[in-house]
Chain A
Amino acid sequence: MPRSINFVREHRRQLKFLVEKDTQILKQAGIGFGVIIVLMVALLIGNWTMSRQLTNLLAKQESTRQTIQSQADLELKYLVFVEKLNILHQLFADRQGKQEALAFFRSLFVGGEVKIAGLKYDDTDQQLTFSIRSDSIFSLDQVFDVLKSDQVKQKYPSIDKKGLSRSNDGSYSLQAIVQMGQKEEES
């Protein structure tokens, strides 16, 4: 009896194996596709949320801008106020040296036999000139002592003394020139 060879069975077995393998691949592809879909949905939702967030932000910005613009006049007044204060501060600072020097030298020669006979000041050269008159040589000596004192030298290192003269009544006159710009530069 001749032996029969069944090719169909072998083919079916191979086909079954391939189908199982293909099903496995499909399963994996399905999972991958599912992941892609989930990610895509997440991205779409994220994008939409962010777009909304941006729109809200821009709307808030616009409303804040309108609030600022509605107060533009007040803001301008405030800016002018600050600018004026800055200018005034500078103006105060510019004349501070002169005021301090006047008060300082005035306090040095109050009463007694020495008096200030003349005062001269010019903003351009920052020089303050005192004409000092003393009744006697002794009080003049005191004037020199005061002008050479540490207290004066510390504040005003550059004081020129000139024009020493004696009048018929025995009084002495002297000019002291205080350079104020120098002191400011040094400090």
Chain B
Amino acid sequence: MTSGALEKQFMMLFKTRRPLVLSGFLVILGVMLIGLVMLPQAKSIISLRQKISQETGQLTKLQQKVMELNDALISPEYAQVDVVNQALPSKKPILDLLTSLSSTIAQSHVKLEQLEVSPGLIASEAAEQSVIVKKQTGIGNDYLALSLKISGSFNQVEEFMRRIEEISPFTTITSFDLSEKVSDTEQKTGEDQVVIMMDIKTFFFAQNVKQTLENPLPVLSDKERETLRQLASFRSSGLMEQKEITGGGLEDLFGVEGYSLELKQLYEQAE
């Protein structure tokens, strides 16, 4: 059959049975619309719905975190952040410890007979490395160790032992050996004199804390609140943190009187 005859027949069919041809055309168009437009749209809607549900959850988490953070920052617990920072500073608190120790000795009326301290590396790169090693092991804190020899009456020493564990930075007695001390003082005061050798540890914070955007904020539990209550009775050294260098700029470091002019001349000659 030639194409002309086919066309003629189609025209005949279209002329006589136009509604049927149109119906066929509509069915074909409908199937094409379903296959090419509606199905992809439906799939896209299902996928969008899943994504919206997922992202809504994520947004809720983030908004909750903002709220939690705002609440946490104005909470009465966080108001004590300075107390906590003094109790567990983020640096080796050697000066704070010595100041607190000195005031505790004075308040307890004991006599410091011997003091040994090994501060280790304070501000060198190696000190930072040693801290990093501990961070990796998950310890979270490091300490300064001190050995003391204290003498006084039993009550005074006992008072000192109680007070030393109530100072900031957090200090704890790790071992002690108390024994009686026989001396002339005992005869004078009538009180038993004792001498105590003790090792104490002062802790500081050495942990790398990282925040993650999506992670929720930790919630303070009763145990942390109890810790805050215990810290409330702690006494800090009251030592202000030095943030800038004071003094300096001296030409004559030793400042020996009468020599400054000669030194200046020597300096000029050397130049």
Interface residues of A (CB under 8 A from B): 15, 18-19, 22-23, 25-26, 28-30, 32-33, 36-37, 39-40, 43-44, 46-47, 50-51, 53-54, 57-58, 60-61, 64-65, 67-69, 71-72, 74-89, 91-92, 94-95, 98-99, 102, 106, 115-124, 131
Q: Are B213 and A50 in contact (CB under 8 A)?
A: no
Given the known interface contacts A54-B51, A67-B66, the answer about A75 and B22 at a Cβ–Cβ threshold of 8 Å is: no
Q: Nearest residue in A to B21 (C-beta to C-beta)? A: A22
Partner of A106, one of B18, B158, B211: B158
**Roughly how many angstroms separate A186 CA and B140 CA in the complex, as a whole number?**
28
Bound CA–CA A68/B52 (angstroms): 21
Contact of B84 among A25, A50, A76, A81 (CB under 8 A): A81
For the complex formed, measure the closest distance between the CB of A133 and the CB atoms of chain B, giving whole angstroms.
9
Task: Describe B's contact surface by its main secondary structure.
Answer: helix
Does B73 lie at the interface of the complex (its beta carbon under 8 Å from any beta carbon of A)?
A: yes
Cβ < 8 Å to A, chain B residues 164-222: 165, 170, 172-180, 192, 196, 203, 205, 207, 209, 211, 213, 217-218, 220
Tell me whether B19 and A84 are in contact (CB under 8 A).
no
| B20, B84, B217: the one within 8 Å of A22 (CB) | B20
A84 and B62 form a contact (CB under 8 A): no
Asked if B9 is at the interface of the complex by the 8 Å CB criterion, the answer is no
A87–B203 CA distance with the chains assembled, in angstroms: 10
Interface: B228 (CB within 8 A): yes
Is the CB–CB distance between A123 and B59 below 8 Å?
no
Cα–Cα, bound, A98→B45 (Å): 66
Q: Are the CB atoms of A43 and B178 closer together than 8 Å?
A: no
**Interchain nearest-CB distance for B236 vs A (Å):** 14
- B55 to A, closest residue via Cβ: A57
Which residues of B are at the interface with A, using a C-beta cutoff of 8 A? 16-20, 22-23, 26-27, 29-30, 33-34, 37-38, 41-42, 44-45, 48-49, 51-52, 55-56, 58-59, 62-63, 65-66, 69, 72-73, 78, 81, 84-85, 87-88, 90, 140-141, 154, 158, 161, 165, 170, 172-180, 192, 196, 203, 205, 207, 209, 211, 213, 217-218, 220, 223-224, 226-228, 230-231
In the bound complex, do residue A75 and residue B48 qualify as a contact, i.e. CB atoms below 8 Å apart?
A: no
Given A43-B42, A50-B49, A61-B55, are A74 and B224 neighbors across the interface (CB < 8 Å)? no
10 pairs from A and B in contact (CB 8 Å cutoff): A26-B19, A33-B26, A50-B52, A57-B59, A58-B55, A67-B66, A83-B207, A86-B140, A121-B175, A121-B176
Look across to chain B and name the residue whose beta carbon is closest to the beta carbon of A25.
Answer: B23
- Distance from B168 Cβ to chain A, minimum over Cβ atoms (Å): 10
Q: Beyond A118-B180, A121-B175, is A88–B227 a contact (Cβ under 8 Å)? A: yes
Assuming the contacts A50-B52, A68-B66, asked whether A85 and B224 have C-beta atoms less than 8 A apart, the reply is yes
Other contacts beyond A89-B226, A91-B141: 9, CB < 8 A: A19-B16, A22-B18, A26-B19, A32-B26, A61-B59, A68-B213, A74-B69, A75-B217, A87-B203
| Bound complex: CA A86 to CA B217 (Å) | 14
B87 surroundings in chain A (CB, below 8 A) = 84, 88
Whole-angstrom distance between the alpha carbons of A115 and B122 in the complex? 44
Known contacts A33-B30, A57-B52, A78-B73; decide if A65 and B19 are in contact (CB<8 Å): no
- The answer to whether A76 and B211 touch across the interface, beta carbons within 8 angstroms, is yes
